[in-house]
């Protein structure tokens, strides 16, 4: 098995680590055990839409996934990949480690997240115990993670944590926050009113932009009248202020704004059995 690094260096995005035959065998066993653990107990794989956080026994999936960095090509043609050279490359730029595991349908790419704490650096004094004494480590090194972050196979990427995945890949085509133009368009929607549009755009953080993006995708502001939105909001005790032009005022208070956006993104729901009302930060359409 060959071991590769996905780095933050554009000129050397993927490098191959030269390994002894003994280490290749050991790493092969480690990755295969981690693959078995990754798949163990999974009862459902759910298409990723940015709204749902998987529970135990569930994985998210992006199919098809754009393998823009060429991970599949690297594990398929390892000798064509640039070999790691400490005089040229730095382990400090490594973002992920990955290896290939062939199956009947081609190459699977097994991906581990690499954290800086797994880097054995020579910047300070690193030591290892050998025989009956400690010895100084004179060369850089690294340790493997204990589990897989994701598996790429047959053009589909399976994973559980989107938060960590977006640290490795450009995921903007699958999930993104609203741009300044989209936040501005939201604030000037015919059913909404902002006292200071420029200020609203400038103060919109990641959470607000995520909600605005989701609301825009759902088209909910275009599907329902202001009266319908206000009436439903009242059933959940979500305060909605309407101006003289029948537009919903966007609150300047961050907490009130977040609550309104959660309502518009349909985070509020009522249990059909107990009629208890809840707010959810993770949801998907029921079958």
Q: What are phi and psi of 79, to 5 degrees?
A: -70, -15
How far, in Å, CA of 120 to CA of 201, rounded?
43
Give per-residue pLDDT as tens, 38-52: 999 999 999 888 777
pLDDT over 70 (residue 14) = yes
Q: Which of 64, 75, 63, 70 is nearest to 102 (CA)?
A: 75
How far, in Å, CA of 49 to CA of 150, rounded?
17
pLDDT number for residue 116: 75
134 falls in which pLDDT band (50, 70, 90)?
Answer: low
Q: For the whole model, what pTM was predicted?
A: 0.73
Name the residue with higher pLDDT: 194 or 87: 194
pLDDT number for residue 129: 62
pLDDT over 90 (residue 122) = no
pLDDT number for residue 176: 76
Q: What is the per-residue DSSP string for 3-52?
A: EEEEES-GGGSEEEE---HHHHHHHHHHHHHHHHHHHTT--EEEE--SS-
What are the domain boundaries of the chain? 3-165, 180-279
Instruction: Name the DSSP letter for residue 83.
Output: B
Name the residue with higher pLDDT: 84 or 127: 84
pLDDT number for residue 139: 63
204 falls in which pLDDT band (50, 70, 90)?
Answer: very high
pLDDT over 80 (residue 237) = yes
pLDDT over 80 (residue 180) = yes
Lowest mean pLDDT among 32-41, 122-131, 244-253: 122-131
pLDDT number for residue 166: 87
Top mean-pLDDT range of 181-185, 261-265, 282-286 = 181-185
Alpha-carbon radius of gyration of the chain:
25
Q: Per DSSP, what are the bridge partners of residue 249?
A: 193
pLDDT number for residue 123: 62
265 falls in which pLDDT band (50, 70, 90)?
Answer: confident
Sign of CA dihedral 89, 93, 97, 102: negative
Exposure b/e, 95-126, CB count within 10 A at least 16 = b: bbbbbbbeeeeebbbbbbbbeeebbeeeeeee
Q: Which residue shows structure tokens 């003289």?
A: 244
Instruction: Name the DSSP letter for residue 178.
Output: P
pLDDT number for residue 79: 92
């Amino acid at each position: 098995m060959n071991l590769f690094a996905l780095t933050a260096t554009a000129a050397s995005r993927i490098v191959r680590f030269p390994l002894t035959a003994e280490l290749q065998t050991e790493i092969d066993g480690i990755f295969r055990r981690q693959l078995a653990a990754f798949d163990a107990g999974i009862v459902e794989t759910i298409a990723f839409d940015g709204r749902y956080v998987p529970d135990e026994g569930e994985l998210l999936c992006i199919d098809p996934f754009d393998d823009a960095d060429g991970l599949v090509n690297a594990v398929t043609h390892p000798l064509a990949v640039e070999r790691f050279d400490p005089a040229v490359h730095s382990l400090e730029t490594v973002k992920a480690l990955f290896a290939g595991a062939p199956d009947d349908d081609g190459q699977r790419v097994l991906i581990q997240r690499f954290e800086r704490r797994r880097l054995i650096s020579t910047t300070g004094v690193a030591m290892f115990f050998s025989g009956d004494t400690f010895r100084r480590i004179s060369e850089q090194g690294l340790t493997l993670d204990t589990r897989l972050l994701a598996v790429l196979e047959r053009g589909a990427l399976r994973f559980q944590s989107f938060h960590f995945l977006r640290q490795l890949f450009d995921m903007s085509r699958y999930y993104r926050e609203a741009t300044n133009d989209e936040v501005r368009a939201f604030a000037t929607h015919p059913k909404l009113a902002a006292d200071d549009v420029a200020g609203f755009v400038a103060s919109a953080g990641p959470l607000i932009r995520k909600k605005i993006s989701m609301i825009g995708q759902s088209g909910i502001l275009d599907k329902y009248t202001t009266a319908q939105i206000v009436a439903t909001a009242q059933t959940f005790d979500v305060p909605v202020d309407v101006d003289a032009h029948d537009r919903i005022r966007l609150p300047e208070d961050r907490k009130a704004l977040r609550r309104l956006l959660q309502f518009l993104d349909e985070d509020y729901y009522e249990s059909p059995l107990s009629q208890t009302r809840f707010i959810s930060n993770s949801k998907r359409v029921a079958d």
